[in-house]
Amino acid sequence: MIGIGHRSGNNDALARENVCLLCGATLTCMHTDASLPDAHNGAICSGRLAWLKPTLEEAPDHPTLQFMHHPPFMTGIWWMGGIGIVEGVAGLREVLNGHPQVQRTVCGHVHRAIQANLGRTPVSVCPSTSYQVYLNLHPGSPPKFIAEPPAMQLHTWTGELIVSHTAYLDFPAEPIDLRPLMGNRDEGRERTRSGLRIPKVVGY
């Protein structure tokens, strides 16, 4: 089952909401609203934590993927950090540390692919399908966008774990087909499916 939904960002004039739903039989997807009215910043206030903790306690053994717009950590890009989460990160870390079924938190806002941890929970920041934020970690560097390729993240659920891919949406050239360089593809495919090692030999 593939679940597709829209979650509001800090520039969307939409109703703010916390949402929890079942994505297939074995994965829970939840959106924790971190927006603030009339502000670029985000916050995880006591009311949102009061929703999050009992919601997670309802299914402590059910693998969960959490979405929120603002990443709950400082990325090192100072001017994006200035419009990040201003309240509630410590409380969010405490709740997530107590609920290890949350396998990943997925965010946006920074327009770059960034990985970090909040306590025990991996956090993945998605790049933008438009301009990316220019990567400059020097304090006080001028705010800039850059025309790097637009990109997205695809999160797949294997039944045991979440696997995340960053996929670019615009390519300077066509993909290179490697099949002519792999002589015995059928045997290689079967060895891969059987968990056998692939020897380093010419024509394989």
| Percentage with pLDDT > 90 across the chain | 64
- Percent of the chain's residues with pLDDT above 70: 87
The pLDDT confidence band at residue 133, using thresholds 50, 70 and 90, is very high
For 43-96, write each residue's pLDDT tens digit: 999 999 999 999 999 989 999 999 999 999 999 999 999 899 999 999 999 999
Which long-range contacts does 23-27 make (Cβ < 8 Å, 24+ apart)? 23/65, 23/157, 24/157, 25/1, 26/62, 26/63, 26/157, 26/159, 27/62, 27/63, 27/64, 27/65, 27/157, 27/162
Position with higher pLDDT, 2 vs 74: 74
* pLDDT interval class at 24 (50, 70, 90): low
Q: Using the predicted structure, report yes or no on whether residue 175 has a pLDDT greater than 60.
A: yes
Average pLDDT score, the chain: 86
Domain ranges of the chain: 19-173, 174-204
C-alpha 83/C-alpha 81 separation (Å) is 5
Please give the torsion angle defined by the CA atoms of residues 106, 14, 127 and 152, in that order, rounded to the nearest 10 degrees. Answer: 80
Q: How far apart are CA 22 and CA 168, in angstroms?
A: 28
Average pLDDT (177-193) is: 77
Q: Alpha carbon of 193 to those of 29, 97, 186, 197: distances in Å?
A: 30, 35, 11, 10
Helix, strand or coil, per DSSP, at residue 80: helix
Q: Which residues contact 10 (CB under 8 A, 6 or more apart)?
A: 35, 36, 39, 40, 41, 42, 69, 70, 83, 109
Q: What is the pLDDT of residue 15?
A: 46
The tokens of 72 are what?
Answer: 């709950």
Q: Is the pLDDT of residue 204 over 60?
A: no
Average pLDDT value for residue range 130-153: 94
Pairwise CA distance, residues 123 & 71, whole Å: 8
Confidence band for 17, pLDDT divided at 50, 70 and 90: low
pLDDT value, residue 183: 66
Would you state the pLDDT for residue 63?
Answer: 94
Confidence band (pLDDT; 50, 70, 90) for 184? confident
Indicate the pLDDT class of residue 13, thresholds 50, 70 and 90: very low
Nearest to 104 by CA among 91, 90, 120, 92: 120
Interatomic CA distance for residues 1 and 14, integer angstroms: 27
Can you tell me the distance from the alpha carbon of 147 to that of 98, in angstroms, rounded to the nearest whole number? 40
Residues 153, 167: contact at Cβ < 8 Å? yes
Answer whether CATH 3.40.1350.10 is correct for domain 19-173: no
Quick one: tokens of 167? 């996929």
CB atoms within 10 A of CB 59: 14
